[in-house]
Amino acid sequence: MSKEPKNNNSYGADQITVLEGLDPVRKRPGMYIGSTSAAGLHHLIWEVVDNSIDEAMAGYANEVSVSLLEDGMVSVKDNGRGIPVEKHKVTGVSALETVLTKLHAGGKFGGGGYKVSGGLHGVGVSVVNALSEYLKAEIHRDGKIWTQEFKTGKAVKAAKPVGTCKDNGTIITFKPDPTIFTELEFNWGKILDRLRQQSYLTKGITLNVFDRRPDHRAKNYRFHFEGGIKSYIKSLHRNKNIKNDTVFYVEKDVKDGKVEIALQYNDEYNETLLAFANNIHNPEGGTHVVGFRSALTRTLNNYARSKNLLKEKQDNLTGDDVREGLTVIISVKLIDPQFEGQTKGKLGNAEMKGYVETVFNESFNTYLEEHPKEAEAIISKCVLSAQARLAARTARATILRKGALEGMTLPENWLIALVAIQKNVSFTSLREIQLAVALNKVEIVNFKLSCLYAVKF
């Protein structure tokens, strides 16, 4: 029996809601900062800091300071040009109030304010304002100090001059809105990690961090790395065994942008890859990562073949083989980056794949030729990874086919050796394996492929 359609008289023009200004941000904050938990809370700091970093990348700033203050407030200060304060001809209010209260307003849309920037959407600082119970902007520009205050995204009064100065810069102080966020405690360690990372990515910049919260021990850090991402690689490899002592590094201008890559191998089995576009971390990768991985596999295979490090009968190394023990940082700069979502997790510019491939292929091949001992060490590790992968695959297929997990019976011409890499335990006979299983010393029902080797006689 069909149901009678509902009366639609209750759905009319009065039911259409129009959200203006910053109301959409307060209504759906997750669309702009990812969440309203701790991650979203810290994202407010990242958005303001990113604007200051943009000033540094444009060559107008060299120092940024972040301070955690009392009552859950945060202050971000830079010595850049300062946000313009003159009246904006479109909005009719100051440029300062415009960028703080209008979505998609800023100097990053081709007006000549920035050539390269991370906050390309123009919603960063306005979103911070929208999600703050209170925000104060202090601008040092053209010999004057200007201030303006906001509450829940709305201006309290117009911007006004309050004094004179000899410096330039912007200070944004804000308090996250407790009615929006489920967590309000800032994590000191997380902030340090982020700013340290930004300092590595922007050679020559100084980043200061201060903890001035009354219920915390006063502390401060200062980050400055002239070595850039090369220094970053070395810090990630602290206390690790290195395969190539000389860090590979390339920095090259491409059309409307720049490609910068640093890498080094260690003797471990995991890959550490950090990708950035305009200093924005891309945890989901993107076209720059695709281009790098393609070039890495091809370059190492070509070099190994040319030096007879891969025999004629051996298969080419796979992407997994060449990435074991690899630590790499990929940083690209481009005028018009296309990110997926406001949180910028993945880069989508198709042209960047080709740029990264070309730059890396040429420079890494030169590096291998100029560092033959280190090149041989890298290839040897990749070949060993390939041998382990093939042996594990064959052994797994044999075990599953012959039911070895039940009766431990295998063809006589096979010797199975289970190698627990982390525990440094090895077996050289089936009897040893059976005994270890009986004593519950090893578990082979859910083995990891990288820990199972088969040797055929």
Question: What are the backbone angles phi and psi of residue 81, rounded to the nearest 5°?
Answer: -75, -20
In this predicted structure, what is the pLDDT of residue 419? 42
Which CATH number does the domain 229-383 belong to among 3.30.565.10, 3.40.50.880, 1.20.1420.20, 3.30.230.10? 3.30.230.10
Residues 215 and 185: their CA atoms lie apart, in Å, by: 12
In this predicted structure, what is the pLDDT of residue 426? 54
Task: Grade residue 446 by pLDDT with cuts at 50, 70 and 90.
Answer: very low
Does residue 110 have a pLDDT over 70? no
- Alpha-carbon dihedral of residues 87, 90, 93, 95, nearest 10 degrees? -60
Give the pLDDT confidence of 245-260 residue by residue, as tens digits.
999 999 999 988 999 9
Phi/psi zone of residue 212: left (φ > 0), alpha (ψ -120 to 50 degrees), beta? alpha
Give the pLDDT confidence of 172-224 residue by residue, as tens digits.
999 999 999 999 999 999 999 999 999 999 988 999 999 999 989 999 999 99
Residues 94 and 157: their CA atoms lie apart, in Å, by: 11
Q: Return the bridge partners of 23, or none.
A: none
Instruction: Give the architecture-level CATH label for domain 23-223.
Output: 2-Layer Sandwich (3.30)
Residues 335 and 114: their CA atoms lie apart, in Å, by: 9
Residues 223 and 80: their CA atoms lie apart, in Å, by: 18
How many helices and strands, by DSSP H and E, does the chain display?
A: 13, 17
In this predicted structure, what is the pLDDT of residue 451? 42
Give the pLDDT confidence of 26-85 residue by residue, as tens digits.
988 888 888 999 999 999 999 999 899 989 988 899 999 999 999 999 999 999 999 999
Domain ranges of the chain: 23-223, 229-383, 403-456
In this predicted structure, what is the pLDDT of residue 456? 35
Q: Return the bridge partners of 276, or none.
A: 281, 331
pTM for the whole structure: 0.75
- Angle CA 164–170–176, to nearest 5: 125
Give the pLDDT confidence of 363-406 residue by residue, as tens digits.
999 999 999 999 999 999 999 888 888 877 776 676 666 554 45
